[in-house]
Amino acid sequence: MITTDILIIGAGPTGLFTVFEAGLLKLRCHLIDALPQPGGQCSELYPKKPIYDIPAYPEILAGDLTDKLLEQCKQFEPGFTLGERADTIEKQDDGSFVVTTNKGTKHKAPVVAIAGGLGSFEPRKPLIDNIAAYEDCGVEYMIKEPEMYRDKNVVIAGGGDSALDWSIFLADVAKSVTLVHRRNEFRGHLDSVEKVQELKNLGKIDLITPAEVTAIHGKGKVESVDITKIDEEPVLIETDHFIPLFGLSPKLGPIATWGLEIEKNAIKVNNALDYQTNIPGIFAIGDVNTYPGKLKLILCGFHEATLMCQAAFQIINPGKKNVLKYTTVTGVDGFDGTRK
């Protein structure tokens, strides 16, 4: 059981900044995210896109913003459970909550902050009858640990940046990489497409287009797949892994069943006070919440996280006075940072 003060569901920009604000109040945080890396939409959807509305940064790439947020919160040593989706929540007799992930990891905290954004990113899966039986037994929808593919035969399917980038990366790690795409044209960046062509010419990637993986075979784990080109008979290819990278779509998912008040796929909160939901002790901040005038912007999530941490402090330290101080007062003579 992982225990913490504030359990944050979602390691997007809002969740990461919560760690910093909580840390200033000496509250410990642990984050759960369904994705294998922190950053939420910024790292998953648009890491190379510039953002122009982060205060004091006239321009910053979304991926760089994630790095800066991680750097800023590192001093407070947050814990991470990555690549796991928060599935269930149970209120305990002592008022705290136990949140269990789809992989069975349990987390206990007196305060839960849902910073789930658009929801947990769920993989788009190919329509292959028995694919569920091979999940985590050779079928992976996202790559968490590239080393597990060292000296293995790997079949990747997809036509976007993920499929291209991982094919390029694994060409140097895996024993063999076969990239299958149902069109001849790829959607990814031109330089990645060119690199894949280059690796194909060097015999380091086997490129099969237009084609689809149509069946998976193996006893208890993936041993081979059928690859079918349009109007041709399937060809059986031996492989240890089949990695369909067809993109991820966000879904509010299990959180929608936690008894929270939901409006238009978002969690209703008390924005006049502290962004608490209808369940005391559970807050919702960032893109995942809704209230009159809500704007789904990163800086709004930062503001909400800041106010929410003040309320969390009172729940965790009942009756204790929290004197609000500026983060730094060095160089201001005769001022101890306390705000009057």
- Binding-site residue numbers are 14, 33, 41, 46, 86, 121, 287, 328
* Nearest approach, Cβ of residue 284 and ligand FAD (Å): 9
Report residue 260 as tokens. 């929270």
Q: Where are the beta strands (DSSP E) in 200-338?
A: 206-208, 211-217, 224-229, 235-238, 241-244, 248-251, 262-263, 266-268, 282-284, 289-290
Nearest to ligand FAD of 154, 252 (CB atom): 252
Candidates 46-54, 148-156, 191-199, 332-340; binding stretch for ligand FAD (CB under 6 A): 46-54
* Nearest approach, Cβ of residue 235 and ligand FAD (Å): 36
* Nearest approach, Cβ of residue 197 and ligand FAD (Å): 28
Angle at 116 between CA 1 and CA 98, to 5 degrees: 25
Nearest to ligand FAD of 21, 287 (CB atom): 287
Sheet architecture: strand order including 235-238 = 211-217, 224-229, 235-238
String of b and e for 281-314 (b: at least 16 CB within 10 Å)? bbbbbbbbbbbeeeeeebebbbebbbbbbebbbe
Nearest to ligand FAD of 135, 172 (CB atom): 135
Distances from the Cα of 13 to the Cα of 54, 89, 206, angstroms = 11, 23, 38
Q: Is the CB of residue 157 less than 8 Å from the CB of residue 242?
A: yes
Residues annotated in the binding site for FAD, as ranges? Answer: 14, 33, 41, 46, 86, 121, 287, 328
Nearest to ligand FAD of 121, 186 (CB atom): 121
**Would you count residue 277 as binding ligand FAD (CB under 6 A)?**
no
Question: By beta-carbon distance, which residue lies closest to ligand FAD?
Answer: 117
How many residues form the binding site for ligand FAD (CB under 6 A)? 38
Report residue 7 as tokens. 């359990």
Q: Which of residues 205-264 bind ligand FAD (CB under 6 A)?
A: 253-255
Please report the DSSP string for 27-61 in residue order: --EEEEESSSSS-HHHHHT-TTSEE--BTTBSSEE
**Would you count residue 142 as binding ligand FAD (CB under 6 A)?**
no
**Would you count residue 63 as binding ligand FAD (CB under 6 A)?**
no
Q: 13-24 and 62-74 are packed helices; what angle lies between their axes, rounded to 10 degrees? A: 20
Q: Which of 5, 8, 15, 274 binds ligand FAD (CB under 6 A)?
A: 15
**Would you count residue 160 as binding ligand FAD (CB under 6 A)?**
no
* Nearest approach, Cβ of residue 10 and ligand FAD (Å): 3
State CA 122 to chain mean position distance.
Answer: 10
By the criterion CB under 6 A, which residues form the site for ligand FAD?
Answer: 9-15, 32-35, 40-42, 45-46, 49, 51, 53, 85-86, 115-121, 253-255, 286-287, 296-299, 301
